[in-house]
Homo-oligomer: A and B are copies of this chain.
Amino acid sequence: MPIMNMIEAINNALHLSFERDPDVVAFGEDSGYYGGVFRATKGLQEKYGTERCFDAPICEQGIAGFAFGLALYGLKPVAEIQFSDYMYPAFDQIVNEIAKSRYRSGGQWPVPMVIRTPYGGGINGGLYHSQSPESFYTHAPGIKIVIPSDPYEAKGLLLASIKDQNPVLFFEPKKIYRSSKADVPTDYYEIPLSKARIAKEGSQVTLIGWGAIHHVNMDAAKLAEKEGISIEVIDLRTIIPYDIETLDASVKKTGRCVIVHEAPRTSGFGAELSATLHERNMLHLHAPIQRMTGWDTHYPFSFDYEYYPNPKRILWAIKQTLEF
């Protein structure tokens, strides 16, 4: 099995999809000839022609609306939004249209599609190249949200997303696009959506994260272990609809939970997880669920270190729950 970085794994998944299904098309700003600014769609146009992989004008609302039309007609668009920070002009098309089409038409007009977009901080990108906006979309019923944490995951989850019968927002942790490497089979495989992954079993505290943060959580778990604390680390993978069974079971087992994400705390997805897990597992909890998150500020260029959750802070939160 070759070792791939995340971009290579995503690119590989796209090539496989194009090969297997002639209805898959990919487009976005600079996605065609150039293969995308992160080169995720590299080689697709060369191999499959300008009809199936093409450049979009700079217009995110257009990209989302156009993808809607393609999906309605029965194609399977995999659209790229160049940075998730720039997805908001498409918010109406995503939240009012893509999310609602199946429902409002009584099931007549589903629009299965994938919108891929790089997200996240830790790269000195400042306000507009660091955002983790996944939580905004969690409040809109009708769209799935998937976030992979490494190349193997990225390929399997992307292939499952392309196969899925619903619209999927696929957020890619660009911080680890090239740094995360894994053995990735060249063949087609899917990782089922809505199944979380217990990356490390443990007994004292459940640690939940996704994307690039998952690795920070793993590091935090190592720090904790050095101090004799046993951590269960869960990579959520699918944010909506998420795997409540795995979370409930883990929290019931450990009685303690820390949720970590990059996005600002207020109304970040940690809030929903915390509220739901409290509601369902109160009697099993030895301490309130903690959130270790980005601050309630915008992403500050010169304070990347201060902003981004790190293993020591997560350890601090772990200890808080243990000492509660």
Interface set of A (CB-CB < 8 Å, partner B): 61, 85, 88-89, 91-92, 95-96, 99-100, 103-104, 127-128, 135-136, 138-139, 141-142, 240, 263-264, 266-272, 274-276, 278-280, 282, 285, 287-291, 296-298, 324
Instruction: Report how many copies the assembly holds.
Output: 2
When the two chains form their complex, are residues B267 and A139 in contact, meaning their CB atoms are under 8 A apart? Answer: yes
When the two chains form their complex, are residues A142 and B298 in contact, meaning their CB atoms are under 8 A apart? Answer: yes
Query: Which of B85, B88, B103, B267 sits near A267, CB closer than 8 Å?
Result: B267
Given contacts A278-B278, A278-B289, contact A266 B139 (CB under 8 A): yes
A267 vs B100: C-alpha distance when bound (angstroms): 17
A268 vs B274: C-alpha distance when bound (angstroms): 13
Query: Which of B91, B104, B139, B271 sits near A275, CB closer than 8 Å?
Result: B271
When the two chains form their complex, are residues B279 and A274 in contact, meaning their CB atoms are under 8 A apart? Answer: yes
A138 vs B135: C-alpha distance when bound (angstroms): 11
Residues of B within 8 A of A263 (CB): 139
Residues of B within 8 A of A141 (CB): 264, 266, 296-298
**Residue in chain B with minimal CB distance to A285:** B282
Q: 7 closest A-B pairs (Cβ-Cβ)? A: A88-B92, A91-B91, A274-B275, A139-B267, A282-B288, A271-B271, A271-B272
Query: Which of B268, B279, B282, B290 sits near A279, CB closer than 8 Å?
Result: B290
**Residue in chain B with minimal CB distance to A286:** B282
A274 vs B267: C-alpha distance when bound (angstroms): 11
A297 vs B282: C-alpha distance when bound (angstroms): 26
Query: Which of B61, B88, B142 sits near A96, CB closer than 8 Å?
Result: B88
**Residue in chain B with minimal CB distance to A61:** B89
When the two chains form their complex, are residues A139 and B135 in contact, meaning their CB atoms are under 8 A apart? Answer: yes
When the two chains form their complex, are residues A138 and B278 in contact, meaning their CB atoms are under 8 A apart? Answer: no
A272 vs B275: C-alpha distance when bound (angstroms): 7
- Closest-CB distance, A155 to chain B (whole angstroms): 28
Of listed A88, A95, A136, A274, residue having the most chain B CB within 10 A: A88
When the two chains form their complex, are residues A96 and B85 in contact, meaning their CB atoms are under 8 A apart? Answer: yes
**Residue in chain B with minimal CB distance to A85:** B96
- Closest-CB distance, A97 to chain B (whole angstroms): 9
**Residue in chain B with minimal CB distance to A103:** B298
When the two chains form their complex, are residues A103 and B297 in contact, meaning their CB atoms are under 8 A apart? Answer: yes
A183 vs B286: C-alpha distance when bound (angstroms): 49
A268 vs B88: C-alpha distance when bound (angstroms): 19
